[in-house]
Amino acid sequence: MERDPHRADHVQLGAKRDPVGRRVARALALGWLAWVVVTTATRVPIWTDERALWREATEQSPQKPRPWVNLGTLEHLGGDHASAQRAYEHAWTVSMARAGDEQRLGVALAAANLALLRWQAGDRGGARALAGRAHAIAPHVTEIHRLEQWMHTTHEPD
């Protein structure tokens, strides 16, 4: 490799710097670096627990529907229907404060998931009504359409 003549060389800077100030600067820099590394060490394990990841997202982005929907889904799959219902209802509430596509999708997903909860609790009529509402709000979402179709074609007594 040819040596580039324009490459900057080392320059002695220390002689012109205040030694006390330099020591303070070094201490602050080392402290900041240690803080960064400790933050990484404590945060990496969160990525192995998706529920902790989305719980963190609801704390950092409390006005965004998606973290609440995703947390609710994980609570739902984990069998904690009460926590799931609270998360879905929160998703519905914060969705109403948004605009446009995000509002529609947030409300539709919250409604569809609440429909599933009601179905599992035995309230077939309520579930069908919520699923129909979700489909009306977001007709382009295939999964919601399939859910609504399935609920209407499954013949079980209410």
CA distance 121 to 131: 15
Tell me if 17 contacts another protein by CB under 8 A. yes
Structure tokens at 74: 């994980």
Nearer to another protein, 59 or 158 (CB): 59
128, 151 in Cβ contact below 8 A?
yes
Q: Identify residues 123-142 at the interface with another protein (CB under 8 A).
A: 140
Nearest by Cα to 87 from 120, 54, 60, 119: 54
SS3 89: helix
Tell me if 10 contacts another protein by CB under 8 A. yes
Nearer to another protein, 79 or 125 (CB): 79
74, 51 in Cβ contact below 8 A?
yes
Tell me if 82 contacts another protein by CB under 8 A. no
Pick the binder of another protein from 41, 125, 155, 158 (CB under 8 A): 41
Q: What is the Cβ-side half-sphere exposure of residue 143, based on CA atoms within 13 angstroms?
A: 9
91, 72 in Cβ contact below 8 A?
yes
The stretch among 45-53, 80-88, 115-123, 127-135 that binds another protein (CB under 8 A) is 45-53
Tell me if 20 contacts another protein by CB under 8 A. no
Pick the binder of another protein from 35, 136, 139, 154 (CB under 8 A): 35
SS3 7: coil
Structure tokens at 15: 């002689």
Tell me if 3 contacts another protein by CB under 8 A. no
Number of residues that bind another protein (CB under 8 A): 47
Binding site for another protein (CB under 8 A): 1-2, 4, 6-11, 13-14, 17, 22, 25-26, 29, 33, 35-37, 39-41, 43-45, 47-48, 50, 53-54, 56-57, 59-64, 66-67, 70, 98, 100-102, 140
